[in-house]
A and B are shown apart, each in its own frame.
Chain A
């Protein structure tokens, strides 16, 4: 078991409404998993609780073999004093430097390397931000809508590349796109309102990889299950 959330209870200071009430779920193996749920259900809050950015909650979060947990969100920006290439070179640990070229190429960022972050399109900005996180040492990377504003083809290419390059790492992909989580994710944690019990439901996705065919009937079935669960 990699990550276990046990009976989490949380409400924001000053708020009367619970965000989580006895929420429990677990991620048992590495891979590309999803955290799915309607807006405002607490996906980002849960992500911040896992990374330790939010404390003072009831229950327990235990992780095994996951010492470095990173969280990235789609509104992040790079400092404007250097271009993308200089920034990536400066923030990449020595052992990961060889991955820069491959990730830049796979994510279609070659033409952006000599530009400043502010000069990029929203999709390019999100891809650049995700690239720099993937170049870090991590055991779990929580991607909070990190591929927003990226076209479907590129998104698919990026997710498949991540799966190929980091098979032993754990990813928690926060998305509102039911097709994409059903198709690419291994385990789908569906977060529900605190009125529902249990508050989190775990479903299996198709976990499509390079060379693995998509089962359309199964995908439709899975999407229905996710929608019904949420």
Chain B
């Protein structure tokens, strides 16, 4: 799992790099526009340590935001599965709000909360929260009649058991959605850092952009790709473990 994902990322990254070099040499562009391989390598040696710390900082915020959004989506999904008016309101609100781009709301968050950790965390959580919420509401509000019937007719059904049955029966879907939203959490954090923050790899990319230093951006992209791949592999392993431990096999 690990080697395949890293291998895929490296392949895509180096194809992109080769394409960039082809553009540079075929159009005879200067090193200022697209740096040469030597310069990229030198930047990599000089900044990779610093950027690795920044990427890990971003990844930590992304993981925290991801966990936060999973918790929020679970709670709201549990309420949203009911047939009372508040649940119906939550479902409609979730569908409407998720259509609104979070990046457009981000400046308001920065104005209110500043450019610290809380803003980055909130934006990361919000970006991966809505896809999770829609899936969680859908899964938790779908009755599994052939299992639930017994517990209902013998008056054993309660909300915890209902959620457990529905989550368990859809464990494959839940794991897929959680793994998929991890990428969104990382994207959300980087976007937040890019817009306004004082730490993280998004912030470093913003500085590199102001310096028009493409080699720094390429090094940052490389480290982001490797770290995100590692996080996704970890989540896939966790999903595999959960399915094996609690799945229907």
Chain B minimum-CB-distance residue to A116? B248
Scoring A70, A79, A81, A133 by chain B CB atoms within 10 A of each residue's CB, the highest score goes to A79
B116 at the interface (CB under 8 A from A): no
Q: Are A132's CB and B248's CB within 8 A?
A: no
B154 at the interface (CB under 8 A from A): yes
Q: Which of A70, A81, A118, A129 contacts B153 (CB 8 A)?
A: A70
Chain A minimum-CB-distance residue to B245? A81
Kindly identify, within residues 138 to 159 of chain B, every residue whose CB is under 8 Å from any CB belonging to chain A. Answer: 146-147, 149-150, 153-154, 156
Q: Count contacts on A: residues with CB < 8 A to the other chain.
A: 19
Q: Are B147's CB and A81's CB within 8 A?
A: no
Q: Are A71's CB and B147's CB within 8 A?
A: no
Q: Which of B149, B153, B168, B247 contacts A79 (CB 8 A)?
A: B168
Contacts A81-B168, A91-B156; A133 near B248 (Cβ below 8 A): no
Scoring B154, B164, B247 by chain A CB atoms within 10 A of each residue's CB, the highest score goes to B154
B32 at the interface (CB under 8 A from A): no
B210 at the interface (CB under 8 A from A): no
Q: Are A91's CB and B154's CB within 8 A?
A: yes
A80 contacts across to B, CB distance below 8 A: 168-169, 246-248
B164 contacts across to A, CB distance below 8 A: 79, 81
Scoring A51, A81, A118 by chain B CB atoms within 10 A of each residue's CB, the highest score goes to A81
Q: Using a Cβ cutoff of 8 Å, how many contacts connect chains A and B?
A: 39
Kindly identify, within residues 105 to 121 of chain B, every residue whose CB is under 8 Å from any CB belonging to chain A. Answer: none
Give Cα A133 to B156, complex, Å. 13
Contacts A51-B153, A71-B153, A136-B154; A81 near B246 (Cβ below 8 A): yes
Q: What's the minimum C-beta distance from A48 to chain B, rounded to whole angstroms? A: 11
The contact string, 1 if C-beta is below 8 Å from chain B, for chain A 80-107, is: 1100000000010000000000000000
Q: Are A79's CB and B165's CB within 8 A?
A: yes
The contact string, 1 if C-beta is below 8 Å from chain B, for chain A 37-54, is: 000000000000001000
The contact string, 1 if C-beta is below 8 Å from chain A, for chain B 212-249, is: 00000000000000000000000000000000001111
Q: Count contacts on B: residues with CB < 8 A to the other chain.
A: 15
A75 at the interface (CB under 8 A from B): yes
A76 at the interface (CB under 8 A from B): yes
Give Cα A105 to B147, complex, Å. 24
Q: Are A76's CB and B149's CB within 8 A?
A: yes
Give Cα A91 to B156, complex, Å. 9
A91 contacts across to B, CB distance below 8 A: 150, 154, 156
A114 at the interface (CB under 8 A from B): no
Q: Which of B147, B153, B154, B246 contacts A78 (CB 8 A)?
A: B147
A77 at the interface (CB under 8 A from B): yes
B153 contacts across to A, CB distance below 8 A: 51, 70-71
Give Cα A81 to B249, complex, Å. 10
A81 contacts across to B, CB distance below 8 A: 164, 168, 246
Q: What's the minimum C-beta distance from A85 to chain B, rounded to whole angstroms? A: 17
Q: Are A70's CB and B248's CB within 8 A?
A: no
Scoring A76, A77, A78 by chain B CB atoms within 10 A of each residue's CB, the highest score goes to A77
Q: Which residues of B contact A (CB under 8 A)?
A: 146-147, 149-150, 153-154, 156, 164-165, 168-169, 246-249
Besides A70-B154, A76-B146, A76-B150, 15 other A-B contacts (C-beta < 8 A): A51-B153, A72-B150, A73-B149, A76-B149, A78-B150, A79-B147, A79-B164, A80-B169, A81-B168, A81-B246, A91-B150, A116-B249, A129-B150, A132-B150, A136-B154
* Listed A/B pairs (27) with beta-carbon separation below 8 Å: A70-B153, A70-B154, A71-B153, A72-B150, A73-B149, A75-B146, A76-B146, A76-B147, A76-B149, A77-B146, A77-B147, A78-B147, A78-B150, A79-B147, A79-B165, A79-B168, A80-B168, A80-B169, A80-B247, A80-B248, A81-B164, A91-B154, A118-B248, A118-B249, A129-B150, A132-B150, A133-B150
